[in-house]
Structure 1
Amino acid sequence: MVFATSTVSGNPVPLTIIKGASSEFIPFPAGENATVADFHSIRTSTTDSPSYLTSGFYKIEKGKAYPLDYTCEETKYVISGQIDVLDEATGVTHHLVPGDFAFFYVGSKVQFSTKSAGLAFYAVTRPVKAAHPNLAGREEDVKQKSKL
């Protein structure tokens, strides 16, 4: 285990480390082929306009398309598979594959789908709405220090 700190106003602040925050622990809701799983959220207080920063995984399998009207900003980075994103503003469907990155603005209207399966990491400016299942007990004890 590695213990690291960051400083804000000269005071050290310990990092939050979540062990095992991986996609195999994310079940689909009954009858669904896509889901989000938030695994960390923080409300900033060091900026002129405080906001939330939440991160997690987006997982989708072949099936129905999921429309979304964005009321916050979001970034997605595709880790595996393919995620298709129909941009309703342009009518263009983007086929995102591992290594691709997308940014969604407030006001974006999209539809997510896939012909197989896809997994993406995301960061979004909203509070937690879908807590990552099965993470209880996976946060490292910040009181323990590295013996490096």
Structure 2
Amino acid sequence: MDLPAVNEGIARLIQQLRAAALLDDQFSQLLQLQDESNPDFVQEIVELYFTDSASKIEKLEQRLGRSQPDYADVDQLVHQFKGSSASFGAHSMAQLCAKLRESCQAQDQAGCQTLVLQAREVFQVLKSQLEVFLQLEKHRKQLERQATAGRAPI
């Protein structure tokens, strides 16, 4: 696969994720922040989001599995998750977090648990698609390095 094909694959994947409402314009803006001075910016942000989100989902499941959840504590965690998802551009996740906050405020344990399960499912889909993105991005960087090395004076 040559560089234009890889770039097209990345663009198509991002477009599909946006069409599915998994990502929004915020993610596209993050892509624009990557440059030669910070070539791994997007990879680092994606991996940080993966780690942070998995941790938050696990904590939410634990806290909501208690017989008497501390809804203020759960709501605080969901608020953080919503903010990080919105900043990342994970549109569907941010929307689920908004619904989850409503269920927390209503102290609806079953509703909260259902929404956390949905969040886990959305996260798994988003993660698998962004892992494809990271592989394409890695391939793109390799091709760019090869192209640059081929033009370097001897």
TM-score of the superposed pair, with normalisation by structure 2: 0.28
Return the index of the structure with the highest Cα Rg: 2
- Structure with bigger helix share is 2
TM-score of the superposed pair, with normalisation by structure 1: 0.28
